Amino acid sequence: MTNVFFRPWVGENYKSTGFNGKHILVLGESCFCGECPGCATDGHNDWWEEEEWQRCRDLIPDVVTDFLAYKNGDPKNWSMRSYRRFTDVFMGRKCTPEETQAFWNSFVLYNYVQTSLEGPRISPSQEEWATGEKPFFEVLAEYTPDVIIAWGRRLWNNMPAGFRLDDSFQNRWGDGLRYYNNGKRDIPVYACYHPSTPAFSSEDTDYFKRLLEKVSEVSK
Ligand SMILES: [Zn+2]
């Protein structure tokens, strides 16, 4: 994955069992790694201590590891709060730390935009969105998920259009599934509201459940 800067979190059971036999790629939007503009775009050079640069690249797995170590996540931390909500809504109940850990060890989490933004939770520019496409397809080639769950309407609107649409399964705002091909298979993409927003709610639980049923049909 030569174009990927921010390495994904890869659950230890992703490849073997996944989540009940489904291999799920959860897709977030972007990363903000602090006062280090250029860490992603300039590559490793004299400006960067190797260790510091590698730490930027491991931002996603490091945040997830911290989240799981905190048991229920630090509620003051925006990422951890989003992770917590996603877990409980996806599973349809308030999960124990053990259940949370098992869930996160079943899937891959990757963030689409491959350059660090200038601040947390700001909207990526067109140039920043453009950094995502090539690495994204490398991640798909590497992990061949059965389904992608994209977090947020803004991300959804800025991802590649896909080569096929499937309106037989619609998300909460009425968009169907989109398909990408990674050279091995067609991969459906479903978009949910971002777990940090109030729109993401217990209503989503049933959508996730039906999505996995739909994925079983598609992959037959
Ligand atoms: Zn950085």
Write the pLDDT tens digit of every residue in 59-110: 999 999 999 998 777 888 888 999 999 999 999 999 999 999 999 999 999 9
Report residue 40 CA to chain centroid gap: 18
Pairing mode, if any, of strands 186-192 and 177-181? antiparallel
- Alpha carbon distance 175, 177 (integer Å): 7
* pLDDT given for residue 47 in this prediction: 62
Residue keyed to tokens 């660090």? 116
Interval between CA 95 and ligand 1 midpoint (Å): 32
Instruction: Give the N- to C-terminal CA distance of the chain in Å, as an integer.
Output: 29
Interval between CA 94 and ligand 1 midpoint (Å): 33
Pairing mode, if any, of strands 186-192 and 164-166? unpaired
* pLDDT given for residue 44 in this prediction: 63
Q: Which residues of the chain have pLDDT under 50?
A: none
Q: Which helix (H) or strand (E) holds 179?
A: strand 177-181
Interval between CA 144 and ligand 1 midpoint (Å): 27
Interval between CA 26 and ligand 1 midpoint (Å): 22
Domain boundaries, the chain: 9-65+101-218
* pLDDT given for residue 46 in this prediction: 64
Interval between CA 179 and ligand 1 midpoint (Å): 31
For the chain, what's the residue count?
220
User: Which of 200, 212, 146 has the alpha carbon at shortest distance from 173?
Assistant: 200
Interval between CA 48 and ligand 1 midpoint (Å): 10
Interval between CA 52 and ligand 1 midpoint (Å): 8
Q: What fold does the segment set 9-65+101-218 form as a domain?
A: Uracil-DNA Glycosylase, subunit E (3.40.470)
Planar angle of CA 216, 217, 218, nearest 5 degrees? 95
Planar angle of CA 190, 94, 189, nearest 5 degrees? 5
| R_g (Cα) of the chain, nearest Å | 17
Is-contact 80 66, C-beta < 8 A?
yes
Interval between CA 30 and ligand 1 midpoint (Å): 12
Sheet-wide strand order for 177-181 = 9-10, 108-111, 24-28, 147-151, 186-192, 177-181, 164-166
Interval between CA 6 and ligand 1 midpoint (Å): 9
pTM of the predicted model, to two decimals?
0.95
Interval between CA 23 and ligand 1 midpoint (Å): 29
Interval between CA 40 and ligand 1 midpoint (Å): 6
User: Which of 36, 24, 32, 42 has the alpha carbon at shortest distance from 6?
Assistant: 32
- Alpha carbon distance 113, 109 (integer Å): 13
User: Which of 144, 113, 153, 147 has the alpha carbon at shortest distance from 130?
Assistant: 113
* pLDDT given for residue 2 in this prediction: 86
Return the SS3 of 85.
helix
Q: Which helix (H) or strand (E) holds 144?
A: none
